[in-house]
Structure 1
């Protein structure tokens, strides 16, 4: 047909030109606007509902189920993610995306227990503070006994007067001072987003080694403070006589960070 130089026309079986047939079908389609309803009971033909099991993967099935039943955002999650992004924007000078925040806690610089702690804290799932106000006859557990104030993750990691957080952060700053760089003013958002913190040198260039050291020190320190709090409140039942001595806490911190840096 390509080498045929004469004019070629197409006709249907009745001898009509194809253009006439096409125009007729188009007019019928315009006048007949009724939508076709698929037969959901049919298992034949190309109009079969659902998807083939032989082509379905676990990943694709999970994505479909997530779209069918979207999970509403938790208020605690929105608050903590927002605080993390705000703290990072103030420190780094640019706003990270929500996806960046969640991906950051999956860094290989976090051990699995530390990663789980970060994930739970971002979701605000720990049973502390206001959680106990919803449990009858357990309202007293909402307060921090040594400080006599409402217990929150901010309070546990940065404010509590019980043995633990003051000594650990002091030792962390002492270790950081060997880098010759300024220690940032910490808050909960910066702790949760420590994997995205960009430490810069005097020339304003990003210091990759210092940034990695910062995320390791901050994540390990925060997780150890959380473990000490659980030992004090759960294992020792808030008994002041069973509180860990400061030197014991310092030794635990040094042993933990030395082990981490040695393996690293």
Structure 2
């Protein structure tokens, strides 16, 4: 038995989601086989570690970014971890005697079953490298401009905001997935020479991309649109930053108590 397994601990966090996952919603998630929970593998490992301890563990919520020394240190360490080219090798496996598998039958609904099937199918799909690259650029741009560390899930969820029209939402979804027929999409082997000419911007002479069309092209209209956008943005009282999907600089990626 490890020494720290018998020592009483106070875990401090600024995430109500983490506290809820190991306290309030723990039984629900376990009964449903973690089908609806994000980062289920981390939740399983955390709960297993808590159950493996022989002493009491208390959780205390603190408001983030309010100068709490431990919370500020955690944010700094998280930023340093994200900036590493080689991620840390974390032990998140669950011991066999504490491992739960599957959902309880009495908890299963059509919605849960559909989500479980879709999750299994998604794991078998090939990775979309262009989508991953676009998401990395968007995340980096948000971190640089606003000091926020968004996840892919946060970006996709943001597209479903009621403040974004369906037309814009569809465009952003397609653009992130590189789903529009532009640029080197026309350079496929089965394309004729006439069609392959469409890969090049007639104005700039460079291979087109969505980033080029939106932010770099010198064709008439592009600068006008962003000028109008800048004027509209001034009403938000938030400093204007030049639009783009990639960072402009080489910056690195950068009280309630409960008990378990």
Greater length-normalized contact order (CA 8 Å, ≥ 6 residues apart): 2
Larger Rg: 1
- The structure whose residues are more often helix, as a share, is 1
> TM-score if structure 2 supplies the norm length?
0.48
